[in-house]
Amino acid sequence: TCSLLRSPKGFPKLKNDTFLRAARGEETEHTPVWCMRQAGRYLPEFRETRASQDFFATCRSPKLCCELTLQPLRRFPLDAAIIFSDILVVPQALGMEVVMVPGKGPTFTEPLKEVEDLMKLRQKVDVTAELGYVFQAITLTRHSLEGKVPLIGFSGAPWTLMSYMIEGGGSTTMAKAKSWLYRHPEASHRLLRLLADVIIDYLVGQVAAGAQALQLFESHAGHLGPELFQDFALPYIRDIAQAVKSKLKEEALPLVPMIIFAKDAHYALRDLAHAGYEVIGLDWTIPPQEARAQIGKDVTLQGNLDPCALYAPKEKIGELVKKMLESFGTQRYIANLGHGLYPDMNPEHVGAFVEAVHAHSRHINKH
């Protein structure tokens, strides 16, 4: 249960550190597994908990975030929990209003249209004041997990957040946001820098609150080509890893493994391999062997089963998992999907995926 009566520190001892060992490149008995969007609408209990609440009100309730984070772990033997939150809490911290519109998704009431609109954003953000509710949710959840598995914190990456702030929501082309990169490169860098600075403090704050690993989501990397990625995404991705690590050292906080997930950015895997992250998350569009060849042996890989594979019959899911494990190898590897779970997925098929990873990886390791 998620009761608020615990001391902020003195966390329970971690019982299953398989995920952290794999992230650091240490040997594991089985391949660890978790799923992006594992706390989500595919679970009836999630829909029930969320039913009466506005989405962002849920994000601001540490108790509800804790409950939603724990739900998938009551059902499946996952090797990690990821805090229930949203990447758009960062634009909110900058003073932008975001509402969740049913059937449409997150919507900014006043997206950035002109360069002058940057002046409306908070230029200095006190993350504890603006995002303290996420830190509280992390501390509460870390206690409530009782050391069962590690807790992952996360943030959106600067380009992905910038694209939402300009588009005002989802987009198939990102034409408005990309037009800024071509028309207003300096203003774009100003915005990306502002976002990066907030993200750095936000991620460090998550570790201080109890997060044991961090994932940076560059979900919209696929809308950039190699050149735009080099100019407007990669420098900030690199900088975030470096700055977070040096601040963690300064503040005598644990140096937690960091994961970069740049969706559809297979053109940038070699660069990402040297960006300062322990783990690279992969979407389902790249063959495992090719990813390993580009990234090398010193970085752990995470991914990359096509989420739609979970619509297959359970036996077929087992076969696909076995093939994936044989391709990646069972070590320096964290099994996951190549993107998040979809709302209409059958929880039993998610269970079949998790169990297949454990069973097949143990079998491969023995033989």
Residue ranges of domains in the chain, CATH in brackets: 21-366 (3.20.20.210)
Q: Which amino acid is at 123?
A: Q
Neighbour tally for 320: CB within 10 Å: 17
Q: β-strands 258-262, 213-218: how paired? A: parallel
Distance CA 153, CA 213 (A): 6
Q: Which of 339, 344, 353 is nearest to 217 (CA)?
A: 339
pLDDT of residue 189: 98
135 and 5 Cβ atoms separated by less than 8 Å:
no
**pLDDT at residue 102 in the model:** 87
Q: Where are the alpha helices (DSSP H) in the chain?
A: 18-24, 44-50, 55-59, 62-75, 89-93, 127-144, 158-167, 175-183, 185-209, 226-232, 234-250, 269-273, 288-295, 314-328, 347-366
Q: What are the DSSP calls for 171-203, one per residue?
A: -SS-HHHHHHHHH-HHHHHHHHHHHHHHHHHHH
42 is annotated as an active-site residue: no
Q: How far is the CA of 34 from the CAs of 63, 80, 236, in angstroms?
A: 22, 6, 26
Which residue among the candidates 17, 21, 50, 271 is catalytic per the annotation? Answer: 50
Tokens matching residue 281: 């998350």
Count of beta carbons in the 10 Å neighbourhood of residue 199: 25
Q: Which of 163, 176, 168 is nearest to 106 (CA)?
A: 168
d(CA 339, CA 341): 7
Active site residue 37: yes
| pLDDT of 2 | 77
In the residue annotation, 164 being an active-site residue is answered as yes
CA distance 189 to 186: 5
The predicted structure's pLDDT at residue 25:
98
Residue ranges in the chain modelled with pLDDT below 50? none
What 3-state class would DSSP assign to 76?
coil
Half-sphere exposure of 41 (CA within 13 A, CB side): 6
pTM over 0.95: yes
- φ and ψ of 114, to 5 deg: -115, 160
104 Cβ contact partners less than 8 Å away, ≥ 6 residues apart: 169
Residue 170: closest CA among 234, 134, 223, 116:
223
Query: Which of these is catalytic: 41, 75, 190, 193?
Result: 41
Whether 86 is catalytic? yes
Residue of 17, 21, 37, 142 with catalytic role: 37
**Sign of CA pseudo-dihedral 316, 363, 345, 261:** negative
CA dist 163 and 168 (Å) reads 8
164, 236, 277, 333: which is the annotated catalytic residue? 164
pLDDT of residue 321: 98
Of 40, 143, 139, 28, which is closest to residue 86 (Cα–Cα)?
40
Longest alpha-carbon distance in the chain: 63
Indicate which residue of 86, 117, 231, 306 is catalytic.
86
In order, the DSSP letters of 143-155 are HHTTTSS-EEEEE
Q: Name residue 215's beta-bridge partners.
A: 154, 259
